Structure 1
């Protein structure tokens, strides 16, 4: 049996760190990129009822808002105004926003992160955060095997609120997909009114445990 890991590549600035892109739209676009990678056709046919189930969306209006968010961010080229009743929904993916056609920087993660069983446990926000942390990590360089970004920076670059980031960090830690180490910065300070004010500053170091993706799928089978 092959041990090859298939990874889904998403553009870093245009998708992963796009603060105008909602996490639910991020997840849906990731699934469309997965489909596009298989069929190589820009015009994708999807079952919108199955997508609602995958995204845990209960009504068509909410799903349409997700599609509209992708359309507003130029990830798809056709605006979805309604859903067909008896045939597949056609979605025109913008190939220039995929790594098959763009040479811009990308972030890649084991495609099994998009497994429904994992999505049900960590949500679209959890998936988005894993991609974000990976976008800040370079495993080929010493001391760059972790993400140094602060909660404020993550919020600014993803559009996710600070409270939501902290909430989903706990979910990701519980599922052993990340490990966070609080790092103490010594002797930080600034000049104010002629006096040096010393303070202690903490910064999180976030490590992504990609090897636990398959373990998480296995645990959900038991």
Structure 2
């Protein structure tokens, strides 16, 4: 956790370097207001997420932020979910399938996300021009729960 916070400090996203993590009590983190108020994309999540640090690992923490940052609330489509593919997550976050699966399980167990699974389905047309069976496969939908908004 200390390394992650200091990475944010080096990137000028927070204003204070973390030398020691407190064992008890609270810790103050000063966000760079210039970055937060700029026109660049910046994902905010409820501060209660820090209450789950002993229940979810850092991979789950990263996935939660990824899902939240890829929900487009400003579009008229009113999508309240991220629909990223597993292979995309593996490449972008440099995680393996089992790590992603374990992180998703931690997030759903703690009710931080909801996953709507989509299975492989047959199409109505059934066969293409080469007489091969046609299947549709849609990505799962990952919704961040209200308490993390």
User: Would you call these one fold, judging by a TM-score over 0.5?
Assistant: yes
Aligned with 2:132: secondary structure?
Answer: strand
* 8 A contact 1:173–1:179 mirrored in 2: yes
Match of 1:108 among 41, 44, 51: 44
Alignment partner of 1:46 is 2:18: yes
Cα 1:112–1:181 shift into 2, 3 Å:
same
Matching residue of 2:141: 205
Once the two structures are superposed, the pairs formed by residues 16-31 of structure 1 within 5 Å of their partners are 26=4, 28-30=6-8
- Measured in 1, the distance between the counterparts of 2:2 and 2:17 equals 19
Cα deviation, 1:89-117, whole Å, max 9, x if unaligned, reads xxxxxx7xx7248643222212332x2x3
Matching residue of 2:27: none
TM-score, normalised with respect to structure 2? 0.70
Shift of 1:139: 2.8
Structure 1 window deviating more from structure 2 (171-180 vs 194-203): it is 194-203
User: If each structure's strand is expressed as a fraction of its own residues, which one has the higher value?
Assistant: 1
Cα deviation, 1:115-158, whole Å, max 9, x if unaligned, reads 2x311111211111111001110234434210110111111111
Query: Structure 1: which 5+ runs fail to align?
Result: 1-22, 37-43, 55-94, 215-222
TM-score, normalised with respect to structure 1? 0.49
- How many residues matched? 137
Cα 1:153–1:100 shift into 2, 3 Å:
same
* 8 A contact 2:13–2:35 mirrored in 1: no
- Measured in 1, the distance between the counterparts of 2:78 and 2:118 equals 13
Q: Which runs of 4+ in 1 moved over 3 A?
A: 23-35, 100-103, 140-143, 188-192
Matching residue of 1:187: 123
Cα deviation, 1:40-73, whole Å, max 9, x if unaligned, reads xxxx44324x27x69xxxxxxxxxxxxxxxxxxx
Cα 1:190–1:139 shift into 2, 3 Å:
farther
Matching residue of 2:88: 153
Cα 1:121–1:167 shift into 2, 3 Å:
same
Alignment partner of 1:118 is 2:118: no
Aligned with 2:80: secondary structure?
Answer: coil
User: If each structure's helix is expressed as a fraction of its own residues, which one has the higher value?
Assistant: 1
Query: Structure 2: which 5+ runs fail to align?
Result: 25-31
Shift of 1:210: 3.6
Alignment partner of 1:139 is 2:73: yes
